[in-house]
Structure 1
């Protein structure tokens, strides 16, 4: 029986706000690649926490996730409680490869180093479990997101969260480079749930994210603007190539996008800067 995903309570995704947060954090101008956001299913006492992964080795690899107790702490660069380390070495087996990571239910999900697989790092037990993706999955910078000028290195796998849980976006040789979307089922190890195949070419996309059960893809317009141009609804199978929602950028490149269902914010990691936008749905009142 097909999985049933959330019936979006907010209505249609209409637009996004001007940038709400813009900060260099602790490392102004350093560590071009990374990601940040919130845990949609936080552990007790960690509801206000924010996380950040910075690729500290060759703009490709990381071996820890960094935490901030509040948004204000992240903005001014005060990291308390600090780092949770996956492994003392970097890179090595089961450390992080690429910027497209998410935190969900007290665990970090990411592309395992040198594998066509999703790693799940339990922050409490410090145990890493893996989810192998289908044979033919492109990895090790063979299926990156790209713009006309360059590709974003090690962006083969894009992890995403929304109101219904965790997803992974990737591509395979048998899909001829088109986006593939799979649901990730929680657990140790996590399992691969239902999978959908789209007709949008992954290297024509700069990033993807999930919001309220729908997959969205972006493309580079110029140094100041990114366009959310594509959507795919896994319930209906409908694809749209004319979404036409434009994002004002404060840096030329967006290396990672994470939607937070906690507060309907879209968190972007842009050339070492952290930027966030409010997602504006038709049935929400706070659309300022």
Structure 2
């Protein structure tokens, strides 16, 4: 038997050598038995189909991925801590960037609306110019001499040329505003659209008494007191308290640069000479940021609008703290109803011989100027008047003797005070009192009743104007 087995093996070996290379493998199986295995290369096939190849490679690849996943899970515990710790910081950064993006979008939308409004106004002016050019001039007719029936009628004259006449309001009266803006009496009916009744302002008389209250007669030429040093001084407020309280004297001048989002510094100068030299003697830090150029000084307190709100603040200069705080009911703020030059001038505070005033607008008033008298201590509104003048159509305004005066342009070198509203009678009308913007960008007007002057901030320059009033 053994011999037969040996011969069989030899035969197989010889056959394998005849066919090609052969190998013998011997090993134990799982049960401890010895197994012999012969491997003989096939002379006809290069490889066995379906054995190994892509399937084995796929299994190896999957095995590699599983090994990598296991290694990551086993070693990832030490790496998750820093990532988890950085997550709140990344979230906070994302929220901050998102908030800044939203603010920029809002600012962009506001600027686009302003640009669209300017484009509409320019188009209206262009159409009006073309219409005026195409209209023939009316024939000259002799003027009717004044008779007894016309002696009580207000005399009429053109107001400083066509540029000033363009600022006269010809809209119908509303809400008790008895502005007399009717047409001039003329023979040519086609001329009626270009006419407006204007109160003639007499020339200043040096012999007239300029004390006491009365209607504005003239605005003097601008007097420059100082030019600011840097870009922060392009817009601002400079003020003098007409009823100063200790420890500050009546000659104290205060100045606030209003460029920036956190306007708090208030600089004090002992007199006009120190202001012109730029040497402040006192610097105050306001507790709440100030909005725009509508602040005023009155009886030892600074009155101003808090940024991004309709809240009014009374800041006591001597005690250096907020003495009163109150919202101005329904008032627009932060660009809702500004003057034509912009600058978030929604609420303009002023003090005159009659007290403390706020000039603003509301949604109910549809953008028309609203005048409110305020209690100087509590800031409570005691009475209000609504005019027929759109706030965005005028460059600025100021109060004198209980009357509101508006200025037509903030940039034109020669413009006019073009409207007056008397709170005592509840009536307004168009006027034409020459006014000069010396430096081409007037962003602030405030009346000082002690000096009877207007304080103005005109394109980096601190300027004043002398006023003349007609005695009552």
Return closer, same or farther for 1:71/1:211 CA change in 2, 3 Å cut-off: same
> Residue in 2 aligned with 1:91?
none
> Residue in 2 aligned with 1:171?
361
Per-residue deviation, residues 14-71 of structure 1 (Å, max 9, x unmatched)? 001112334215x25642111112101101451111111111415xx51122111101
CA distance in 2, matches of 1:38, 1:230: 25
CA distance in 2, matches of 1:223, 1:23: 21
More strand by share: 1
Given the alignment of the two structures, is residue 75 of structure 1 paired with residue 263 of structure 2, yes or no? Answer: no
CA distance in 2, matches of 1:142, 1:79: 35
> Residue in 2 aligned with 1:104?
298
Per-residue deviation, residues 240-277 of structure 1 (Å, max 9, x unmatched)? 12x11121222111111001000100011111211101
Mean Cα deviation higher: 211-220 or 16-25: 16-25
Given the alignment of the two structures, is residue 63 of structure 1 paired with residue 264 of structure 2, yes or no? Answer: yes
Q: TM-score, normalised by structure 2?
A: 0.53
Given the alignment of the two structures, is residue 85 of structure 1 paired with residue 275 of structure 2, yes or no? Answer: no
CA distance in 2, matches of 1:29, 1:226: 26
Tell me, yes or no, if the aligned pair for 1:33 and 1:54 is still in contact at 8 Å.
yes
> Residue in 2 aligned with 1:204?
393
CA distance in 1, matches of 2:420, 2:289: 31
> Residue in 2 aligned with 1:114?
308
Where does 1:177-196 land on structure 2 (aligned, <5 Å)?
177-187=367-377, 189-196=378-385
More helix by share: 2
Aligned to 2:255, what secondary structure does the other structure show?
A: strand
Tell me, yes or no, if the aligned pair for 1:223 and 1:251 is still in contact at 8 Å.
no
CA distance in 2, matches of 1:12, 1:174: 30
- Cα root mean square deviation, aligned: 1.9
Larger C-alpha radius of gyration, 1 or 2?
2
Higher RCO structure, 1 or 2 (CA under 8 Å, sep 6+): 1
Tell me, yes or no, if the aligned pair for 1:221 and 1:227 is still in contact at 8 Å.
no
State the number of aligned residues.
260
Given the alignment of the two structures, is residue 240 of structure 1 paired with residue 429 of structure 2, yes or no? Answer: yes
CA distance in 2, matches of 1:249, 1:199: 25
The equivalent position to 1:21 in structure 2, one of 205, 224, 232, is: 224
Aligned to 1:251, what secondary structure does the other structure show?
A: coil
Q: TM-score, normalised by structure 1?
A: 0.85
Aligned to 2:351, what secondary structure does the other structure show?
A: strand
Structure 1 stretches lacking a partner, 5+ long: 1-7, 88-93
CA distance in 2, matches of 1:245, 1:180: 22
Structure 2 stretches lacking a partner, 5+ long: 1-210
CA distance in 1, matches of 2:312, 2:231: 29
State the shift of 1:282 in Å: 2.7
Tell me, yes or no, if the aligned pair for 2:410 and 2:437 is still in contact at 8 Å.
no
Return closer, same or farther for 1:66/1:221 CA change in 2, 3 Å cut-off: closer
> Residue in 1 aligned with 2:326?
131
State the shift of 1:221 in Å: 7.2
Mean Cα deviation higher: 107-116 or 199-208: 107-116
